[in-house]
Amino acid sequence: MTQPNAWEQILDYSNRANPYPLYAELRRTPVTLLPDGSYLVSTYAEIASLLHDPRVSSDITRNPAAAAAGVTVGDGGAEGADGAGGGPGMTPTFLSMDPPDHDRFRRLAMRHFGPPRTPGRVAGMEARMRDIVTGLIDDMAGRRRIDVVEDLAYPLPVTVICELLGVPPGDEQRFRIWVDIALQSTDPRLDPETQQKKRAEAGAELRSYMEELVEAHRQSPGTDLLSAMAADDGPEGRMEGDQLVSTGLLLLIAGHETTVNLISNGVLTLLRHPRELERLRDDPELAIPMVEELLRYEPPVHFVPFRTALDDIDVAGTTIPAGSSFTLLLAAGNRDPAHTDDPDVFIPDRRNNQHLGFGGGVHLCFGAPLARLEAQIALSEFARRIENSQLVDDPPPYRPSPFLRGPSHLLVDIGGIAPRTSGQAAPT
């Protein structure tokens, strides 16, 4: 029987808890040719260069590996590969486009989310985020065991993104089922036909839900992001029809799924490093550099698949031929000793911490400012208020996806809950 190569072992669920030695093995050669003719890029400098290279395409319709795997924009696979969902017949989002189309549609969404036109939208939600976290931790009072994923890491970002987009209260559970099914379709243990069936099943429900939501916001606009995009009167016109539906789904799903992993990976890392947990308890401002270190050390997205070379590209002495598919191993690059000293050591206040946790280039994570703030608040409040916390299982069980990597549950025994500070109002 043939011994599985390092990449096959990374995809194997049995290695989900600690794939990093396998990434180190791949880094011995910056570019690896796989038996199917696609390539892996695993070193920091080469990944960073390709993220900014105009000869690299994110258009899924150009990608031979995606076609061979039965992944198409129409079944949601293009967005699903990056954690954003999709559905049958779905129009591609800017995530799966190249410039100039990518640039235009990203600008149309960013107009209402961040600078320069809407610089205060994310910062303006900070007080509400703190209220949500306060309420979630208050609800843990009297318990001796919590599940960090279910009790904190999931409800915070999903509540925030729903309020940001204008999703009616209570609908979170409706789409959570569909999102879970869509993400299950990325499990490498499933055959391609089953993966495609799960994507189609979840995608149809998600698309129908978002179509109804977009139409409701068109008819009765509010102050939310979805209403702003639906009623845009900017110089580049309005995002119409299927494009708005697809973008709404992208923001809804990508806007919380990766943050769930960031927070749960963060708590897990802190519980494994009790001295750093104590430092954060004493100095909440440490959360700012700590989140950057977590994005390097335990990133929520481990790799970006289905990139296509538009021309022959020389990468560290290896030529990736035009038309070839390749995958960027962000998690491997983050721990590249050629880029970072002591890469396997968690150093919360590491200086000059350049990482690939949010990707890079034109596809730099749209929601990075939101994810950073949510994680900073969640982790600092966990450290301050959760007393005598101890992991129940180490390693914990992980989600099936090898690239959206994080615990499916994170059970923690606790000694109690410290009171909220005097300045914290009761959440509404």
How far is it, in rounded angstroms, from Cα 230 to Cα 244? 7
Helix, strand and coil percent figures for the chain, each rounded to 5: 50, 10, 40
pLDDT digits (tens, 9 = 90+) for 354-404: 999 999 999 999 999 999 999 999 999 999 999 999 999 999 999 988 999
Which residues sit opposite 325 in a β-bridge?
308
Predicted confidence at residue 119, as pLDDT, reads 86
Question: What structural domains does the chain harbor?
Answer: 6-417 (1.10.630.10)
The label of the residue with tokens 């968690």 reads 346
Which residues sit opposite 309 in a β-bridge?
56
Predicted confidence at residue 184, as pLDDT, reads 67
How far is it, in rounded angstroms, from Cα 306 to Cα 73? 12
Q: What order do you get walking across the sheet with 411-413 strand by strand?
A: 145-147, 411-413, 390-391
* Cis-peptide, bond into residue 395, ω within 30° of zero: yes
Predicted confidence at residue 163, as pLDDT, reads 94
Please name which of 253, 272, 125, 144 lies closest in space to residue 199, comparing C-alpha atoms: 253
How far is it, in rounded angstroms, from Cα 364 to Cα 258? 14
Please tell me whether the overall predicted TM-score, pTM, comes out greater than 0.75 for this model.
Answer: yes
Query: How many other CB atoms sit within 10 Å of the CB of residue 81?
Result: 24
Mean pLDDT of 61-87: 55
